[in-house]
Structure 1
């Protein structure tokens, strides 16, 4: 019964359209501005985004360092 549900859902998912196809024009190739970044920079929000990314990366780095220390202690304990 589960196999039939999986096959049924796969058939429906193949018919799903995720995005509408938009044609690329010559104007798109000429665009050298990133409007979202310009707006965020003008409003001062870009610094908030950079700060949050920095905090997340710092947290990941601290987690990896802490995990490495624990693994080193376990390896040392195992070797003794």
Structure 2
């Protein structure tokens, strides 16, 4: 679980460094039309889905490990 948290922190730090880059013309176009919010929403949705899947698998694996220890 600690490794998962470390990976999440590393990914967040990587996105912060990427956002510090100067915006390109495509980014300016997306911002001017308001579509940048759609892009951000889709990325957040995917990210939240991946985190939810990891939490679900971690809990399921913990139950399997507990059942194995009881044998």
What TM-score, normalized by structure 1, do the two folds share?
0.59
Q: When the two structures are aligned, how many residues end up with a matched partner?
A: 49
Show CA shifts across 1:15-44 (max 9, x none).
xxxxxxxxxxxxxxxxx6510000000000
CA RMSD of aligned residues (A): 1.1
Question: After the TM superposition, which segments of 4 or more aligned residues of structure 1 sit over 2 Å from their partners?
Answer: none
Tell which structure's C-alpha radius of gyration is larger.
Answer: 1
Unaligned ranges ≥5, structure 1: 1-31
The structure with higher relative contact order (CA 8 Å, sep 6+) is 2
What TM-score, normalized by structure 2, do the two folds share?
0.66
For 1:31-46, what aligned pairs fall within 5 Å after superposition? 34-46=24-36
Unaligned ranges ≥5, structure 2: 1-21
SS class of match (1:69) = helix
Higher helix share: 2
Pick aligned residue for 2:38 from 30, 48, 69:
48
